[in-house]
Structure 1
Amino acid sequence: GAGCAMLRRLLSSPSTSTSTYAIFPLRRILSAAAPHISPNPSGFAVEEYLVDTCGLTRPQALKASKKLSHLRSPTKPDAVLAFLAGLGLSGADAAAVVVKDPKFLCAKVDKTLAPVVAGLAGLGLSRPEIARLVSVAHCYFRTRPIVPNVVFLRECGLSDCDIVKVCIPVPRMLTTDPERVRAMVACAERLGVPRGAGMFRPALQAVAFLSEEKIAAKVDYLKNTFRWSDAQVSIALC
Structure 2
Amino acid sequence: MLRLQNHLICALRAASHAPASPLHRIHLSTAAAPPAQFVVEDYLVASCGLEPAQARRASKHLHHLKSPANPDAVRAFLADAGLAESHSVDTIVTPRVAQLRDMGLSPPQISRLISIVPGIFHSPYRIARLEFYISLLGSYDKVEAALKSNFYLLENNIENVVKPNLAFLQQCGLSACDIAKLYKCTGKLLTNILSI
Task: Give the partner amino acid of 1:174.
Answer: L
- Cα 1:103–1:158 change in 2 (3 A) is same
**Offset from partner CA, 1:83-109 (integer Å, 9 cap, x none):** 9x96x9x5697388459x442335442
- Please report how far the alpha carbon of residue 187 of structure 1 lies from its aligned counterpart in structure 2 after TM superposition: 5.0
Q: Following superposition, which runs of at least 4 residues in structure 1 exceed 6 angstroms of deviation?
A: none
CA RMSD of aligned residues (A): 3.9
The corresponding residue for 1:150 is 130
Equivalent pairs counted in the alignment come to 134
The corresponding residue for 1:202 is 184
Provide the identity percentage.
20
Please show how residues 36-47 of structure 1 align to structure 2 within 5 Å. none
- Cα 1:102–1:138 change in 2 (3 A) is closer
201-210 vs 153-162, which moves further: 201-210
- Cα 1:93–1:212 change in 2 (3 A) is farther
The corresponding residue for 1:185 is 166
How far apart, in 1, do the equivalents of 2:115 and 2:128 lie? 19
How far apart, in 2, do the equivalents of 1:170 and 1:185 lie? 17
Please show how residues 13-24 of structure 1 align to structure 2 within 5 Å. none
- Please report how far the alpha carbon of residue 127 of structure 1 lies from its aligned counterpart in structure 2 after TM superposition: 1.3
Task: Give the partner amino acid of 1:136.
Answer: I
Task: Give the partner amino acid of 2:91.
Answer: K
The corresponding residue for 2:154 is 174
Q: TM-score, normalised by structure 1?
A: 0.43
The corresponding residue for 1:5 is none
- Please report how far the alpha carbon of residue 138 of structure 1 lies from its aligned counterpart in structure 2 after TM superposition: 0.3
Contact 1:153 1:163 in 2 (8 A): yes
- Cα 1:116–1:157 change in 2 (3 A) is same
The corresponding residue for 1:103 is 82
The corresponding residue for 2:24 is none
Contact 1:188 1:204 in 2 (8 A): no
Question: Where does the alignment leave 5 or more consecutive residues of structure 1 unmatched?
Answer: 1-74, 216-238
Q: TM-score, normalised by structure 2?
A: 0.50
